[in-house]
Amino acid sequence: MSPLIRRLLIALPVLVLIVGGAWWMSRPNPVPVVLKEIQRGLVESTIANTRAGTVEACQRTRLSTITGGRIEVLAVKEGDRVEKGQLLMKLWNDDQQAQKAWYVAQVATARQRVNEACSVAVNAEREAERQASLRARGFVSQAKEDSARSEAEARRAGCAAARADVLQAEARVRLARVEQGRTMLYAPFAGTVAKIVGEVGEYSTPSPPGVPTPPAIDLIDDSCLYVRAPMDEVDAPRIAAGQPVRISLDALPKQSFAGRVKRVAPYVSAVEKQARTVDIEADFDDPAAPGKLLVGYSADIEVILDRRENVVRVPTSALLEGGRVLVAGADGRLEERQVKTGLANWEFAEVLEGLAPGDRVVTSLERAGVKAGVDYSVDGQAATGG
């Protein structure tokens, strides 16, 4: 072998090592991705409220007296439990009490007049009958009998007029009682006093028509609660009473409670022209499940339109436009695959075709360099799809 060939044979491996090293050093680094394994599970189609909802009481009334006046009695304080019909507040009404007492006295006087007038009428009736008997036997004249009968009829009329005076006096007493009731507030149902506006000695003013003023007493029946929330007008046609919902509350994080749609408002609310909503109301399936709730808590309602159990599902975050996903290939490269999806929500989509349990899909699509054909490395441990 010539010295030249021998030198070439020695230099060739060195050249191969140099070229291979240069290629290895210049090759692109694998793109780190987050993978999730495809599994079977539950997929639901849901819609949620656009703005925060509120926990409401089934019964709540803001009470004010019909007439204005100075507060004389506050029979309750904020936070008190009251029974139906219990006195809550009374305005000064001594003048009305005095007037009522006067009317009551008039009733008593009128009844005495009835006794007097009707007794006289009874005697006059007897006298008329006696005169008629005497006239039949020829002892008195016809004129005498007629005079007795006229007197009896007049006395009967006087008795009826006295009875009418009693009814009139009793009506005045009832009217005085009604007027007196305008200065008092009674609980229309059993509940809790949430707020009182005013103190003893202050003037309480009722709300004139069209002029909202704070109520004197805010009464809440917190034994029955529900949630009201605004839904986008576009979603409203798909909501109906009786549909299942999930209720979540800011006061109880990481918890949700089953419920049902109770009512869908029959009109659209335009609080903002660009955000037209329809209010819905939902009851808790188990009212005791959330524990003690306060009226006014913020709450959210997620209406469950449809649900599929034990179906192949893919994380919604793994879906590209056009129903495509990036799958982790066995050769260390990302592959693009077309999938057909069914029911979907913000978390999962049902897979009808294109993926099978065990496949791993990329969920970190927002990272730079993530595309089909590139080498990948798993960023941390791949999570499961369940």
Distance CA 135, CA 61 (A): 74
Q: How many CB atoms lie within 10 A of CB 305?
A: 16
**What CATH number corresponds to the domain at position 53?**
2.40.30.170
For 342-382, the pLDDT digits (tens) are 998 888 999 999 999 999 999 988 888 888 888 888 876 54
Q: How confident is the model at residue 10 (pLDDT cuts 50, 70, 90)?
A: low
pLDDT of residue 270: 77
Sequence-distant (6+) residues with CB within 8 A of 297 are: 54, 55, 249, 250, 251
Q: In terms of domains, do 124 and 235 share one?
A: no
**What CATH number corresponds to the domain at position 359?**
2.40.420.20
pLDDT of residue 6: 62
pLDDT of residue 214: 81
Q: In terms of domains, do 187 and 137 share one?
A: no
20 within some domain = no
Cβ–Cβ < 8 Å for 244, 262: no
For 148-207, the pLDDT digits (tens) are 889 889 989 999 999 999 999 999 999 989 888 888 999 999 999 999 998 998 888 876
220 within some domain = no
Q: How confident is the model at residue 23 (pLDDT cuts 50, 70, 90)?
A: very low
Q: In terms of domains, do 274 and 295 share one?
A: yes
Q: In terms of domains, do 80 and 194 share one?
A: yes
* Domain stops at, among 275, 307, 339: 307
- Mean predicted confidence (pLDDT) in 26-51: 86
pLDDT of residue 11: 62
Q: In terms of domains, do 77 and 187 share one?
A: yes
Q: In terms of domains, do 176 and 97 share one?
A: yes
Q: Domain range spanning residue 358?
A: 27-45+309-384
1 within some domain = no
Q: In terms of domains, do 101 and 132 share one?
A: yes
Specify the length of the chain in residues.
Answer: 386
Comparing 4-8, 105-109, 276-280, 291-295, the range with the smallest average pLDDT is 4-8
Distance CA 335, CA 376 (A): 11
Distance CA 245, CA 314 (A): 23
Cβ–Cβ < 8 Å for 6, 351: no
Model pTM? Answer: 0.67
13 within some domain = no
Nearest to 356 by CA among 43, 42, 40, 41: 40
Percent of the chain with pLDDT over 90: 56
Percent of the chain with pLDDT over 70: 88
What integer best gives the mean pLDDT of the chain? 87
pLDDT of residue 24: 47
| Residue 251: both structure tokens together | 């006061």
pLDDT of residue 325: 93
- In angstroms, the Cα distances linking 248 to 111, 122, 321 are 67, 80, 31
**Whether pLDDT at 285 is above 90:** yes
Q: In terms of domains, do 334 and 279 share one?
A: no
Nearest-10 Cα torsion for 45, 48, 50, 55: 170
**Whether pLDDT at 295 is above 80:** yes
Residue 203 C-beta-side C-alpha neighbours within 13 Å: 4
Q: In terms of domains, do 283 and 314 share one?
A: no
Q: In terms of domains, do 139 and 154 share one?
A: yes
Distance CA 185, CA 190 (A): 14
* Domain stops at, among 256, 278, 307: 307
Q: In terms of domains, do 81 and 110 share one?
A: no
Please state the domain count of the chain.
Answer: 4
**Whether pLDDT at 280 is above 90:** yes
**Whether pLDDT at 140 is above 90:** no
- Mean predicted confidence (pLDDT) in 257-270: 92
